[in-house]
Amino acid sequence: MEGNKVKIITTKQEICQWAKQVKTSGKSVGFVPTMGFLHKGHLSLVHEAKQANDHVVMSIFVNPLQFGRGEDYTAYPRDEERDKKLAKEAGVDILFMPSVNEMYRKQQSIKLMVTERTDKLCGAKRPGHFDGVVTVLTKFFHLIMPNRAYFGLKDAQQFAVVAALVDELDFPIEIIPVNTVRVPSGLAISSRNVYLTIDEKKQAPALYQSLLLGKKLIEEGETSSTVIIKTVSSYLNKQLGETVKIDYVELLSFPELEEIAEVSRKVILAVAVQFSAARLIDNIMVDS
């Protein structure tokens, strides 16, 4: 029966031993890194990982290195017992839940720095965020030695940065993108949706609607970045009203995340909107 054998590991030594043993057995490992507080988006990553691998490892670790000053590291939502239950039901084999002290025994004297793709989208407001992301992932990849690691496209910027990390540093790992999970209205699933008011919940599907509108424009032949961004912004403004602040509407090449004047290849259209107590993001890829 699926999901009856989830093993909790909290030390680097134990996960490393487990990984070495699996390597020797020739079995494959799929890895799903998370910060916990699991929802259907995370579970879809597990689902994908189970299709292609003999074992699935999920990490739950709220990584202090990727939170900036003034960000919500200590307030980040946690619910370990519920996470364990959900991971078990989803069929996770190993749940790696190290403490901060276990992961970072001392100050890093060797640092990983992301020098491109960081001044766009959400990265622009989170200096150092992706340095923290690639540092913790590098450590996890070394400890767990997965064949494949799974990342949701909800955070497409993170996916692009991680794909570059693995490519440029020759990690023997395949990075698998997994489509964003949505409720029937089109709203992307996020831990932050619970912070929406009743009225905002009705407005929030406009994010995805605006992306579909932009996609339709491109597919119909519109190539001007300015026109597409303007149309999407106007639609959002109209649907959301004046009290909701649009943080950005960006159209970038993918996975380079470079600004483009003309759409002529694979692009990402992304939006971020600030509601009263929640900032929501969403994006869509278009192959033109």
CB of 18 to its own copies, least distance (A): 11
Q: Is 261 in the site for its own copies (CB under 8 A)?
A: no
Q: Would you say 77 or 127 has its CB closer to its own copies? A: 127
Q: Which of 36, 108, 75, 96 is nearest to 195 (CA)?
A: 75
Tell me whether residue 70 is annotated as binding.
Answer: no
As measured in angstroms, the least distance from the Cβ of 128 to its own copies is 13
**The amino acid at 273:** V
**Hey, which residues between 128 and 167 contact its own copies (CB under 8 A)?**
134-135, 138-139, 142-143, 145, 161, 164-165
Question: What are all long-range contacts of 199-202, with beta carbons under 8 Å and residues at least 24 apart?
Answer: 200/244, 200/275, 200/276, 200/278
Q: Is 12 in the site for its own copies (CB under 8 A)?
A: yes
181 marked as part of a ligand binding site: yes
DSSP H or E segment with residue 90: helix 80-90
The response to whether 37 counts as a known ligand-binding position is yes
Which of residues 100, 124, 169, 227 is near its own copies by CB under 8 A? Answer: 169
How many residues of this chain interact with its own copies, rule: CB under 8 A? Answer: 33
Rounded Cα distance between 247 and 271, Å, is 7
Binding residues among 64-123 for its own copies as defined by CB under 8 A: 106, 108-117
Active site residue 129: no
Can you name the residues that pair with 30 across neighbouring β-strands? 56, 148
H/E stretch holding 24: helix 12-25
What phi, psi does 28 have (nearest 5°)?
-95, 155
The helix (run of H) or strand (run of E) holding residue 66 is none
Cite the annotated binding site for beta-alanine by residue number: 66
Q: Where does this chain bind its own copies (CB under 8 A)?
A: 12, 16, 19-20, 23-24, 26, 106, 108-117, 134-135, 138-139, 142-143, 145, 161, 164-165, 168-172
